[in-house]
Structure 1
């Protein structure tokens, strides 16, 4: 007699699930059979005949008890809890967005507050996880991993700090076999932020026009190949695609005009974690987070050089307020234990020394000018005195001469 047992498990096997993650729920079965029904918080889902259910850009709205059912028996509930926080590190593509052509690879840059040698990175392709090589650049304070799909339709990449449950956010990359690609960002779109959807053609031909569609309805034409949403809202959620007109004119001036359609790509807009806020008083910066949970009690401050975005580093100060001295961009976030608030907007600080230097130079120039003026006045006065003395001597000589001549006349 076979034993029938169902269970629900999570992929990737994250110790914590953060807002914006892409995760999959798998109905593991021993002796079970399809079709599979999914029940989340008592509501049967529309997904049928699949032992895997994919949840993209999850939010706390996805929280609840997840169960699967095959042929009558139902699994024990698996509780999904999504933390409305940022994870402990951030990998992001050095170039490009979420879509790649078949066989293509892309570098992901990992930045973290602590020693990057303590981090390991992984890829989930299908239902299998793989460890990745991590190239650490200590001088730049970043690490690079090479992300490739290796034939999978989509793959998720993330990093984890060794011997802890701290992990980074996850980046999902998707494959297309078409010449034309609609490329959304590789990270979730946050409500209120701008987002650019690009229509790209493999091989880099000259793009003559791109027509963008949302849910198969034409929304705009763009010779530049970009559709920009300046302030993302829930109204922008949907499936986007594009139709491109292009020529390979860099290969031949007589190249024929070509056309092609992209795959449809889902765009989801989420609220995201609460954001920290910087308030400014002279050279003092103060960090606050009105929407943060009560257990967010410590502060992290960061500094980035104007000319080097990779110089992003955590400062030693951990108080609510700091005094800035060094030029650059300053930001802060709250440490909430299992994760962080969103970063504040950056505050740009330019030292006042440059203006003060100009003032001091101006004062010095004025003093020198006054000194030169006084010296010239003294010199002119001294010259006049000499001229007066010389003039009197000549007058005396002339007088004596006149007197002498007069004596001769007598």
Structure 2
């Protein structure tokens, strides 16, 4: 019996060794896009070697990790034990999938067992979408409430447990293999170190600047930092960041050290010096199809020279001091911006999309764009011009009216001719007032000094108790110093206080 069991085990082992190994890809993407992280797993453990286009690959482990792939990673892959596996073909597209997945904080490295906030966009809507995470070579569904998947964008958390990259991506249900409709993938890492080196979540692109950041968990104040590439110091940085220009020789292992103190606990707390971070591998890739954003006085223009002609252009907006993005409804290459903040765009077509453009910062006041301000200024200027024109017109009319009046006749009437006034067309008619409205001439009686009396300046006295006959024009002056000028002008009617009224013809007399 023991002999039979032994022979069976030997036979099984022999078949396992002699059997042809197989390769499977993780995650099960379907199509492979630029920037995806791909794992190829050989069925035989340990693997003798990996072959890439019939040439030995540097890796000899059971799992071959291809970080942030590009078109240069396209080709034939095989793993070899006793025999070689069948060819596993990978064709990497030089663009991104149409759905857009991003890390809200921009950090690809988090503390172990902490969550990272992600945001997903899909112009077709997110109904029937699912998100997965590859952890320890096993795919797990991320639990996302259905009510937040009703629109075109949503935010969700992914907990990072391992130090090796954990890959997050989203896809639409019912689409498989080469017909899979999905988002780009994001690789997340965790670290137990107090100091973290942050690199962008997407691959570094040749010819573009790249900022490395040294951060301390808990929000400590960094007083000094140093950055290293392959254990060679690049330089110091007082603000905790270091910018490099990406070249072919920029790929490698990066780390940083930081000197810091927790000032929120104690303003002059103990200084921790030269605390190191975990190393991070920087992947350099050629530039894929990328959108470019330009700015003029009132609008932003999005272009993509390598994209299909029928591409639509999607816009993203990040408000000042905000971390998340807002999906704009406009699908045009030219966007009239109306809010301050940062803007980015990307071209989208069929099964793909361009790499997003760099952010363009817009500094305008909330609630209006330069176009609105220009319109407001023009409206105000127009109103001022209209007001000035109206004032000038009114003044011209007033001058014309004065020039068109008939000159007052200044015929001096002889004393005692009052009886003939009633027969003259241009004479003033006497006003019949009460005794309390009695007015007097300049040559008043000695007892006429009571308050309420008036004097006729420039007129002849007509008698006690009556208004003075005014020749031409006259000024009636109250003896208490307050005066009323009565302009006697042809064709006008003058009314004023105390019931004065007169129909003016030719001003030869004024009677009360």
State TM-score, norm by structure 1: 0.82
Whether the 8 Å CA contact 2:312–2:348 is kept in 1: the answer is yes
The structure with the largest alpha-carbon Rg is 2
**Higher mean C-alpha displacement, 111-120 vs 349-358:** 349-358
Q: Residues 262 and 330 of structure 1: is their aligned pair in 2 closer, same or farther, counting only changes over 3 Å?
A: closer
- The Cα offsets for residues 210-245 of structure 1, whole Å up to 9 and x where unpaired, read as 01111211111111101123x533243222111111
- SS of alignment partner, residue 314 of structure 2: strand
Deviation of the 1:249 alpha carbon: 2.5
Whether the 8 Å CA contact 1:300–1:314 is kept in 2: the answer is no
Deviation of the 1:284 alpha carbon: 11
**Higher mean C-alpha displacement, 169-178 vs 367-376:** 367-376
| 1:212 to 2:231 alignment | no
Distance 1:75 1:250 in 2: 59
**Higher mean C-alpha displacement, 87-96 vs 276-285:** 276-285
Q: Which residue of 2 aligns with 1:246?
A: 260
| 1:197 to 2:212 alignment | yes
What's the RMSD between the two structures over aligned residues? 3.3
Deviation of the 1:17 alpha carbon: 0.8
Whether the 8 Å CA contact 1:300–1:315 is kept in 2: the answer is no
Q: Which residue of 2 aligns with 1:407?
A: none
Q: Which residue of 2 aligns with 1:233?
A: 247
What residue ranges of structure 1 are gaps of 5+ in the alignment?
Answer: 402-410
Tell me which of 201, 212, 218 is aligned to 1:186.
201
Q: Which residue of 1 aligns with 2:56?
A: 44
Deviation of the 1:28 alpha carbon: 1.0
Q: Residues 307 and 242 of structure 1: is their aligned pair in 2 closer, same or farther, counting only changes over 3 Å?
A: closer
Tell me which of 165, 169, 174 is aligned to 1:154.
165
Q: Residues 23 and 352 of structure 1: is their aligned pair in 2 closer, same or farther, counting only changes over 3 Å?
A: same
Q: Residues 257 and 353 of structure 1: is their aligned pair in 2 closer, same or farther, counting only changes over 3 Å?
A: closer
Q: How does 1:359-378 map to 2 (within 5 A)?
A: 359-378=378-397
Distance 1:352 1:7 in 2: 62
Deviation of the 1:54 alpha carbon: 0.8
Distance 2:34 2:96 in 1: 7
- SS of alignment partner, residue 412 of structure 2: helix
Structure ranking higher in strand proportion: 1
Deviation of the 1:43 alpha carbon: 1.0
Tell me which of 224, 228, 237 is aligned to 1:222.
237
Deviation of the 1:199 alpha carbon: 0.5
Distance 2:394 2:182 in 1: 73
Higher relative contact order (CA 8 A, sep 6+): 1
**Higher mean C-alpha displacement, 252-261 vs 338-347:** 338-347
What residue ranges of structure 2 are gaps of 5+ in the alignment?
Answer: 1-10, 363-367, 416-512
Whether the 8 Å CA contact 1:180–1:200 is kept in 2: the answer is yes
Q: Residues 278 and 248 of structure 1: is their aligned pair in 2 closer, same or farther, counting only changes over 3 Å?
A: closer
Whether the 8 Å CA contact 1:297–1:334 is kept in 2: the answer is no
Q: Which residue of 2 aligns with 1:24?
A: 39
Deviation of the 1:303 alpha carbon: 4.4
- The Cα offsets for residues 258-312 of structure 1, whole Å up to 9 and x where unpaired, read as 13101111112222322346799999999764434xxx35221334568597442
Q: Which residue of 1 aligns with 2:115?
A: 105
Whether the 8 Å CA contact 2:135–2:166 is kept in 1: the answer is yes
| 1:263 to 2:316 alignment | no
Distance 1:323 1:172 in 2: 33
- SS of alignment partner, residue 368 of structure 1: helix
Q: How does 1:57-72 map to 2 (within 5 A)?
A: 57-70=68-81, 72=82
| 1:53 to 2:64 alignment | yes
Deviation of the 1:172 alpha carbon: 0.5
Deviation of the 1:190 alpha carbon: 2.6
Q: Which residue of 2 aligns with 1:389?
A: 407
| 1:75 to 2:85 alignment | yes
Q: Which residue of 2 aligns with 1:404?
A: none
Report how many aligned residue pairs link the two structures.
Answer: 382
